[in-house]
Chains A and B, each alone.
Chain A
Amino acid sequence: MEAHSKPEGVAQRPLIVADGLVKTYRMGAEVVKALDGVSLTIAEGEFVAIMGPSGSGKSTMMNLIGALDVPTTGTLAIDGRDIGALDSDELADLRNRSIGFVFQQFNLLPRTTALRQVMLPMLYAHPKPENPEELARHRLEQVGLGDRLNHHPRQLSGGQQQRVAIARALVNNPKILLADEPTGALDSKTSDEIMRLFTTLNAGGITVVLVTHEPDIAEWASRRVLFKDGHIVEDVRHAHRGVADRGMVSAAQRGSEAAE
């Protein structure tokens, strides 16, 4: 993939525009406010890390951005479409075309080869691509699994399984890649490999939003959004740093940043 770096500081087209998002869950008589007035704009090409304590509403926010759910009040536009106005079939199409999901638990299908896993989103695409197998193979090669096409999840390491999941998320050329704690089930070395892959993909132009609890994972991103009790309490941009750059960060530096 051609790694063109995007111009820093230049306003990109807004891809995700959230305004006053409220999401409440009713648990019997009790009402839980998972999101309590969240406004956030993410431009095309950004690499955003969402952080915050457990229960602060990160996953809830990701589900909304991923068009898996609709807000209780407030508006959310994904790629120019107001998800509150879409029916469930239109939401499914939006997820299929514009969004790729990566989960903490990988969510691969059992007894299914890597190739078939990656072909899955194309089953639901309209129009169907003519050469789904070739596209899937290409994506698996891109994540470094060109030699594992016919392996089942059982026969792959955790890192490899997550790469299959990433290849699957990418196969329909989405604009947004969403990852809720993608490295949560991986050791630190494997986590770094996955983050390097995300950085490369982001450099290729895809917008990446990920949730993490680990500060040194968040460092790979160019913007950090901190959630607390359903609110955004902090939103900082770093200077964007490329893959090569990132690879040279010393262990000491990483340790000191983590301590912040």
Chain B
Amino acid sequence: MTLLDCLRVALTALKANLLRSILTTLGIVIGVASVIILVAVGTGASSEVDRQINALGTNTLIVSSGDRRMGGRSSGAGSDRPLAEADMVAIRDKVSGVVAISGQLNGSGPVVYGNANWTTNLSGIHAEFNAVKDWPVASGRELTPSDIRSNAKVAMIGVTVAKQLFGENDPIGAMIRVKNVPFQVVGVLAAKGQSGVGRDQDDTVLMPMSTARGRIVGRSQVQNDQIGMIHVKIDPQISLVDAQEDIENLLRQRRPPLPGGEDSFSVRNLAEFMKARNEVLNTLSYLLAATSVISLVVGGIGIMNIMLVSVTERTREIGLRMAVGGKGRDIMRQFLVEAVTLCLFGGLIGIAIGVGAAALVALYAQWPVVVSPSVIALAMAAAAATGVFFGYFPARRASQLNPIDALRSE
């Protein structure tokens, strides 16, 4: 009996019990779908996490006011004391291994050029900002220490802002109005893409810290030496944890603790934060992997069950096949092909669902989701292996029937 003959018989048998066949494959469907989603989303997510870690820089610390528990934000009225220029200078001078350092004071507001109007993020920074963030300008120049000292009304803009205000035109040298204050565009930042939380990092205007403090973020809310948060880039040769400790010790001397005794600042290591997030993803991957294995096993047991039922129902047919010359191995092959066909059928449905779900994830999570042909091949192989493994026992049982007993059965 050729494989093609077996396939024809299998399809006839499966069609005869169509609903039963479909229900039987449900476990395989779920198993295969989760294999697809697992691999597609998993590879996409981990490459995305790697990219974000690299984008953050593996040797960067972020210092912010407020305690750690509040995620670096103010922990209550009166207890918040912003970080000041002097704190930054102290870190630069007293902590060893600081390569570059910059504050970042955030606000937002409208930016106007000609008729174009765009509300964006406004940040005051220091001259080393580009170096700390590994974020060079694509054209024009960076801000200089003298820009900072002289409250210069110059700005670097992100590509999103450039596109909104200037379209295809070159923004360098153009005068824009930021909160009605005229600024000269001196640089356009290289495109950076989305942040880990999905914010468009290119939708920003960067200006000297001093200028921002005076005119942009709002005079009434700002103390005159406030610098927002501090980005610190540490020499890769030096332990990031040691540097973090040094900074913490230094700031503890400079800033009184909160009433509860906690630090009034926090030093975060974003790369570590991202690694933790990656671990969550890994855990999810393990869960999904377990789901797919369990589904395949449960599905396989379902297949085995239905194949045993099928062998019992078709005992007479088996007897007849043996009577006209079918050998044990012919019967065996026939039922194995039937089990594998059932599983591959479930596998195909599973692939369709898995690819669909992966596409949805890609749409909403904004991850690069990768469904490669090898993943599909892997899923189909898993389905086929399930069919062979769980179909073997029923098929062997069929092949070992005695022809007379089989013919006589009802």
A residues neighboring B (CB under 8 Å): 63, 66, 68-69, 88-89, 92-93, 95-97, 101, 103, 107, 109-112, 120-121, 123-125, 128, 168, 172
What is the distance, in angstroms, from B69's C-beta to the closest C-beta of chain A? 70
> Per-position contact with A for B5-34: 1 when CB-CB < 8 Å, else 0?
100000010001000000000000000000
User: How far apart are the CA atoms of A121 and B5 in the complex, in Å?
Assistant: 12
Let me know if B324 and A124 touch, CB within 8 A. Answer: yes
Q: Is B322 an interface residue (CB 8 A)?
A: yes
Measured in the bound complex, the distance between the Cα atoms of B321 and A112 in whole Å is: 14
Min CB–CB distance A89 → chain B (angstroms) = 5
Q: How far is A125 from B12 in the complex, measured between Cα atoms in Å?
A: 21
Tell me, rounded to whole Å, the shortest Cβ–Cβ distance linking A101 to chain B.
5
The CA of A172 and the CA of B326, in the complex, are separated in Å by 13
Q: Given that A68-B403, A107-B407 are known contacts, is A95 also in contact with B323, CB under 8 Å in the complex?
A: yes
Question: What interface size band does chain B fall in?
Answer: 20 to 34
Residue of A nearest to B402 (CB): A69
Would you call B325 and A97 a contact (CB within 8 A)?
yes
Residues of A within 8 A of B73 (CB): none
Main SS of chain B's interface residues?
Answer: helix
User: In this complex, what residue of B is CB-closest to A105?
Assistant: B316
Interface flag for B163 (CB, 8 Å): no
Nearest Cβ distance between residue B3 and chain A, in whole angstroms?
Answer: 12
Q: How far is the CA of A96 from the CA of B5 in the complex (A)?
A: 17
Instruction: Give A205 to B1 CA distance when docked, in angstroms.
Output: 29
Q: Which residues of A contact B12 (CB under 8 A)?
A: 111-112
Q: What is the CA–CA distance of A101 and B316 in the complex, to the nearest angstrom?
A: 14
Chain A residues with CB under 8 A of B327? 88-89, 92-93, 124
In-complex Cβ contact of A168 among B5, B324, B404 (8 A): B324
Given contacts A95-B325, A120-B321, 6 further A-B contacts (CB under 8 A): A66-B323, A107-B323, A111-B12, A124-B321, A124-B325, A124-B326
Q: Can you report 20 residue pairs joining A to B where beta carbons are below 8 Å apart?
A: A68-B322, A68-B404, A69-B404, A92-B326, A93-B327, A96-B325, A103-B407, A107-B316, A107-B323, A107-B407, A111-B16, A120-B320, A120-B324, A121-B325, A123-B2, A123-B5, A123-B330, A124-B1, A124-B325, A125-B325
B residues less than 8 Å from A92 (CB atoms):
322, 325-327
